[in-house]
Amino acid sequence: MISRRGALIAGGTGVAVVAGGAGAYKVATGDKPEPPSPPSVNADGKLLWRNWSGIQNAYPAARLAPKDEGELALALKTAQGPIRPVGAGHSFTALAPTTGTLVSLDAMAGVVGWEGDAAIVRTGTRLGALGPMLAEKGRALPNLPDINKQSLGGALGTATHGTGTKIPALHGDVTGLRLVTPSGQVIDADADNNPEVFQAARVSLGSLGVISQVRIKTSANRRLRRRVWLEPFDEALANAEVRWAQHRNFEFYAVPFTGLAANISHDETDEPALARGPDQDTEFLEALKGLRNLLGFATPVRKAAAKALLSTAKPETAVDEGWKLLSTERPVRFNEMEFHLPVENQLKALEEVVRTIEKERPDVFFPIEARRIAADDAWLSPFQGGTRGSVAVHAYYRDDFSFLYSLVEPIFRRYEGRPHWGKLHTLRGQQLAALYPRWNDFLAVRQELDPEGRMLNPYLKGLFGLT
């Protein structure tokens, strides 16, 4: 048995040898070029803003970075609309683009206090920076998403989550928040004080104003033992429920065109730290892309090659503080669709998605992610009303992602999925109202706090069915 890294390196050599002649030509040309990019500066001299994956862009008239709530309140009161808060730009949907004012809270970051074990955190804090700040007090966020670049505000606003049957998404641990409204009013809200604002604002897509700080529960900063192992996809499916019940955090990735799945578990431990080692995920993706480029024309051959290259990889183990393992850099850019499904539908939907992609789209190589998230009661939380199982499909940022809409979304919708607010989907207005029992209550709070719709860009107006 060799490591996944070793298998990939050996595999890469094998692929190169097999490739030769015309094959090598395919490897060299299989990658698409950089997607076309809009001008860096528009005709009015405004600077381009673009999201992380590159598919959303805008030329805002103004970009503001208030340093405190006073500046933020004044900015919201006076700025040209649409006013859109922006974090790291990790949303794939058009939540941030505006021709008006982009508001970054990068200058409003850090832990500003504690109430018992709950931290008071400014929402401009990037998740990657928050881990060490909390660790100084021996605390940590119980769960984290895959990517550590997002701002806390952006992550909360879009119901960003990690994985763990008993662990809610980030907003599920928020017990209080401070909202600065478009009129410049500052509202403190929690379950007892302004409860309707609290339930509406925890997941609100930056549409009620700007949340400047939150009170968020933390847990002891325990060391976690991380395991990554490959196995046949069928076995991963058969064992998934047991593993979700068994592990603190568990997720698995169906690796299309390989017949394999990659499992990842995290469990608390007192074992000594064991370094995670070099980033194998990026190499894994590169190898999968190489197989796509070389053998994408013949699925059976591609599957046989992938199995031969990868099935001998031994499990990887690392031990470290949770914030260092759960959430990382993820340097390979992609576009993504993720829906949150009733748990009884999750694995059926996953199987169907994998089957459909393998039948219709041999250009896809990114693994398909399955996670589990505990319930919470925020009105626009996709986990409102019960634990949900998420399935996420990715497309390399240079590749065509239209199949997400044409092939994948219909499957998710048939299985009663709710879309991730920051990821690609086409649902609007009444379609969303049918999925969220408190949809109209949310819209009423939005109308009250922003009657002129200054926080709404065209995308949000459409999403809320206001056009």
Residues that bind another protein (CB under 8 A): 34, 37, 40, 47-52, 54, 57, 63-65, 86-89, 102, 104, 106-107, 109, 126, 128-129, 148-149, 278-279, 282, 329, 331-333
Task: Please state, in angstroms and rounded to a whole number, the distance separating the CA atoms of residues 161 and 175.
Answer: 16
- Of 170, 325, 155, which is closest to residue 251 (Cα–Cα)? 325
**Nearest approach, Cβ of residue 106 and another protein (Å):** 5
Query: Cβ distance 143 to 167 under 8 Å?
Result: yes
Q: Which is nearer to another protein, 74 or 304 (CB)?
A: 74
- Of 260, 258, 262, 361, which is closest to residue 303 (Cα–Cα)? 258
**Nearest approach, Cβ of residue 24 and another protein (Å):** 22
Q: Which is nearer to another protein, 58 or 408 (CB)?
A: 58
**Cα angle for residues 93, 98, 99 (degrees, 5° grid):** 150
- Of 77, 51, 80, which is closest to residue 63 (Cα–Cα)? 80
**Nearest approach, Cβ of residue 314 and another protein (Å):** 21
Q: Point out which residues pair with 268 in neighbouring strands.
A: 224
- 3-state DSSP helix/strand/coil % of the chain, to nearest 5: 35, 25, 40
Q: Which is nearer to another protein, 39 or 437 (CB)?
A: 39
Q: Which is nearer to another protein, 85 or 259 (CB)?
A: 85
Q: What backbone phi and psi angles, to 5 degrees, belong to 279? A: -65, 110
**Nearest approach, Cβ of residue 62 and another protein (Å):** 10
**Nearest approach, Cβ of residue 365 and another protein (Å):** 17
Residues contacting residue 88 through CB under 8 Å, at least 6 positions apart: 52, 126, 149, 150, 151, 154
**Nearest approach, Cβ of residue 48 and another protein (Å):** 6
Q: Which is nearer to another protein, 278 or 300 (CB)?
A: 278
Q: Which is nearer to another protein, 49 or 442 (CB)?
A: 49
